[in-house]
């Protein structure tokens, strides 16, 4: 390379963190819907046993969120039994059979804030608004998913037994 020319590919150290970028993308999509304020919940061990909304979610709406490339972005990192979704991630565990590995409450906590179970996770917190890094001011204080959407995703994941 001559003089000040640079490769079109940035060195890894010059790129924004993948987690920060994913969180920013997810917060941007969630904040666009104007969700603000969180429903209180209680963590018991490694789970949130009670639904955030007081009722079970809708698995069909949850499936739509999981597969949505602008909202949940789950398949950016996860793969699973989704034949219609060609591009699936390999960074995180497969969602296939997740309901046989985790309880409903454990699923809920991982969607709400997986860092409560694994502080080193790359999964963004879908229902946390505090102590987040690199959040644009217009998205501060807003969760990625509403309490109802969290319950919808949990209801869908609960159907993935194989």
pLDDT tens series, the chain, 162 aa? 444 443 333 333 333 454 444 444 444 444 333 334 799 999 999 999 999 998 899 999 999 999 888 888 898 899 999 877 778 888 999 999 999 999 999 999 999 999 999 999 999 999 999 888 888 787 788 899 999 999 999 999 999 998
End-to-end CA distance of the chain: 52
Matching residue, tokens 């039994």: 81
Q: What is the pLDDT of residue 99?
A: 97
Cα→Cα distances 146→10, 13, 130, Å? 35, 34, 15
Indicate the number of domains in the chain: 1
Residue 110's domain comprises 16-33+44-157
Distance CA 118, CA 77 (A): 16
Domain assignment present for residue 94? The answer is: yes
Domain assignment present for residue 54? The answer is: yes
Domain assignment present for residue 88? The answer is: yes
Domain assignment present for residue 52? The answer is: yes
- 3-class SS of residue 155: helix
């Amino acid at each position: 390379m001559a003089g000040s020319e640079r490769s079109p590919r940035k060195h890894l150290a010059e790129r924004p963190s993948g987690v920060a970028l994913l969180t920013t993308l997810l917060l941007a999509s969630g904040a666009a819907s104007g969700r603000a304020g969180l429903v209180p919940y209680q963590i018991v061990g490694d789970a949130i046993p009670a639904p955030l909304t007081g009722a079970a979610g809708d698995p069909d709406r949850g499936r739509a969120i999981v597969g949505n490339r602008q909202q949940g972005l789950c398949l950016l990192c996860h793969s699973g039994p989704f034949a219609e979704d060609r591009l699936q991630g390999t960074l995180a565990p497969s969602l296939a059979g997740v309901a046989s590995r985790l309880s409903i409450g454990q699923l809920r906590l991982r969607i709400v804030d997986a860092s409560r179970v694994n502080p080193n996770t790359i999964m963004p917190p879908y229902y946390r608004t505090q102590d987040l890094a690199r959040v644009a001011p217009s998205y501060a204080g807003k969760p990625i998913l509403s309490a109802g959407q969290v319950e919808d995703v949990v209801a869908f994941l609960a159907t993935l037994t194989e």
